[in-house]
């Protein structure tokens, strides 16, 4: 065995933990969150395509964060009220989630398939943190891309978001939140 071969083998051995780790950690900077409020008066929908998320399949740890001012509404007035009156985005510029995803293992993420998962942890909106448990699904594609999605309900009052009486009928008491993350291996 030549010195060159020994060096190459040494390099491969040294890189193995990194390669394994790379297959177990996933991230995105372009996740999509939609929220939807429906009342007899009007329907309100907003989109945020700048969700940052990191998932470590070996531990299940998952985090995501969004900038409140990156939510886009159809109408300017809705967006202004959302930022200035309800979310107070100058005081609370971000919402985030820190928790754990169960229902898929680090071994399973190496095989294409669809998995039913549960994400549990702390959801912080408007500066108020609530412990939540959210159902979801993970689709592992043949190329290794992981698509995670979830739909859940958030109550504004749970996060001390006050809705003025004059627009109370325009905004639903429960807001449907949809999360779609396309996570790439790190």
Nearer to another protein, 81 or 159 (CB): 81
> According to the binding rule CB under 8 A, does residue 168 interact with another protein?
no
φ, ψ for residue 78 (rounded to 5)?
-60, -45
> According to the binding rule CB under 8 A, does residue 77 interact with another protein?
yes
Q: Is the dihedral of CA 14, 19, 21, 25 positive or negative?
A: positive
Q: How many residues does the chain have?
A: 186
Site for another protein in 8-37 (CB under 8 A): 29-30, 32
Q: Say if CB 72 and CB 83 are below 8 A apart.
A: no
> According to the binding rule CB under 8 A, does residue 92 interact with another protein?
no
Nearer to another protein, 93 or 103 (CB): 93
Which one among 52, 58, 124, 149 touches another protein, defined by CB under 8 A? 52
Q: Which stretch binds another protein (CB under 8 A): 4-12, 74-82, 101-109, 131-139?
A: 74-82
3-class state of residue 3 by DSSP: helix
Cα distance between residue 79 and residue 85, in whole Å: 10
> According to the binding rule CB under 8 A, does residue 49 interact with another protein?
yes
Nearer to another protein, 47 or 176 (CB): 47
CA nearest to 182, candidates 45, 55, 36 = 55
Nearer to another protein, 151 or 184 (CB): 184
> Which are the contacts of 108, defined by CB distance < 8 A and separation ≥ 6?
115, 140
Query: Which positions lie near another protein, rule CB under 8 A?
Result: 29-30, 32, 49-50, 52, 65-70, 72-73, 75-77, 79-80, 90, 93-94
């Amino acid at each position: 065995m030549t010195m060159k071969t020994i060096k190459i083998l040494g390099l491969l051995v040294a890189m193995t933990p990194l390669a394994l780790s790379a297959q177990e950690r996933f991230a995105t900077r372009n996740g999509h969150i939609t929220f939807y409020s429906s009342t007899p008066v009007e329907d309100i929908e907003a989109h945020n395509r700048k969700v940052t998320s990191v998932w470590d399949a070996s531990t299940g740890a998952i985090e995501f964060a969004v900038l409140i001012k990156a939510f886009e509404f159809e109408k300017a007035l809705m967006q202004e009220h959302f930022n200035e009156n309800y979310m107070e985005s100058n005081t609370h510029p971000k919402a985030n989630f820190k928790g754990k995803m169960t229902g898929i293992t680090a071994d399973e993420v190496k095989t294409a398939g669809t998995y039913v998962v549960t994400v549990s942890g702390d959801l912080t909106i408007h500066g108020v943190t609530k412990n939540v448990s959210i159902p979801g699904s993970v689709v592992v594609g043949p190329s290794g891309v992981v698509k995670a999605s979830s739909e859940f309900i958030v109550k504004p009052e749970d996060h001390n978001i006050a809705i003025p009486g004059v627009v109370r009928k325009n905004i639903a008491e429960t807001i449907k939140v949809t999360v779609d993350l396309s996570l790439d291996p790190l």
